[in-house]
Amino acid sequence: MKAALALEALAVGNPGGPAILSGLSLEVRPGEVVALLGANGCGKTTLLRGIAGLVLERAGKVWLRGQVAPRGAVARTEAGLALAFQNPDDQLFGTTVGEDVAIGPMHQGLAPDAVRARVDEALAATGLTHLAERPIEALSFGEKKRACLAGVLAMHPAVLLLDEPTAGLDPVGERETAGLLRRLARERDVALVVSTHATDEVPFFADRVAILGEGRLLAFGPPAEVFRDAALLARAHLRAPAVAELWTQLAPFLPESGEAPPLTVAEAARRLLPHLVPTNQEAHP
């Protein structure tokens, strides 16, 4: 399968300064979600902005759907790439939710009927249909986050970059967003690259994890593989999901101590239950 997004020895940095990241090579397939992890200041946002054409790459190439990506943010948007910023107030410009979501399709030159169809579709996908006429300033922070997501979805991107989509959300909002990302990738066959600090949520939405540190890509692989490498996580100043950390602490007392720790509560319960409930209980009168 042809990659929706590919980075080839990419180096990016802010104008006038040294490269923040260099030598990055990875591929993201259609329908795949890649979680981008790393300590504060490691370059996650810079990388997303570089892929989006907002930061000039110093070396290497960005490929979109098998073609070298054009230079500049506008050209890359036209080529099928979209970026949602961490702070929704940096992205919301319409008076109402519906008007804001319509901005992207309008700039794509779609006819009014097609724009309305895109808006309705994006609002439904993000659960915001009932807020179409709501003024932007009347939205909660979580609703603003979803409005930003609806705005980029309305442009039907092949590659969607999300900068900290769960930042500032409560635990319920984090879990709902994780589920939404997973569903959007599958239903729309869009490639997602998601920067996040919410390691507990990563197993719920990510197919693979990319870890940044020391100015480069330290690891790229499935969550179960990446999160079991304690030395790697320490090197990157990260932690595994909380349930995996608990399992590791209890490992000496568990019958499955030699296996990789579970990454979700549901997985931990499934593996523990057979050892907590005897399979051949004697019947009592």
Q: Is residue 2 a part of any domain in this protein? A: yes
Q: What is the mean pLDDT of residues 52-71?
A: 90
CA–CA separation, 52 vs 193, rounded Å? 11
Q: What percent of the chain lies above the pLDDT cut of 90?
A: 78
Asked if residue 16 is part of any domain, the answer here is yes
| Residue 151 covered by a domain | no
How many domains is the chain built from? 2
Do 161 and 274 lie in one domain? The reply is no
Same domain, 235 and 248: no
Question: CA separation (Å) from 240 to 45, 61, 148, 231, 268?
Answer: 21, 31, 29, 11, 14
Of the candidates 190, 116, 183, 179, the one whose C-alpha atom is nearest the C-alpha of residue 153 is: 190
Tell me the angle at which helices 242-250 and 265-276 cross, rounded to the nearest 10 degrees. Answer: 30
Q: What secondary structure letter does DSSP report for 98? A: H
Residues 200, 248 share a domain = no
Domain assignment of residue 107, yes or no: no
The parent domain of residue 173 ranges over 1-80+157-239
Task: Evaluate whether residue 187 is within a structural domain.
Answer: yes
What does the pLDDT average to over 99-117? 96
Q: Which residues contact 124 (CB under 8 A, 6 or more apart)?
A: none
Same structural domain, 46 and 4 = yes
What's the predicted TM-score (pTM) here? 0.90
**Mean of per-residue pLDDT scores for the chain:** 91
* CB-based burial label for 241 (10 Å; 0-12, 13-18, 19+): buried
Please tell me the predicted confidence (pLDDT) of residue 283.
46
Tell whether 170 and 228 lie within a shared domain: yes
Q: CA–CA separation, 167 vs 95, rounded Å?
A: 24
- Residue 91: pLDDT band with limits 50, 70, 90: very high
In whole angstroms, give the CA distance from residue 27 to residue 9.
12
Task: Give yes or no for residue 285 having a pLDDT over 60.
Answer: no
Same domain, 187 and 232: yes
Same domain, 163 and 254: no
pLDDT single digits (tens) 239-279:
999 999 998 888 888 776 567 889 999 999 888 887 776 65
Task: Give residue-wise pLDDT tens across range 199-242.
Answer: 999 999 999 999 999 999 999 999 999 999 999 999 999 999 99
pLDDT at 14 over 80: no
Considering only residues 202 and 14, tell me which one the structure prediction assigns the higher pLDDT: 202
Residue 122 falls inside a structural domain = no
In a domain, residue 196? The reply is yes
Question: Has residue 84 got a pLDDT over 70?
Answer: yes
CB atoms within 10 A of CB 2: 10
Gap between the Cα atoms of 77 and 152, Å rounded: 10
d(CA 247, CA 184): 31
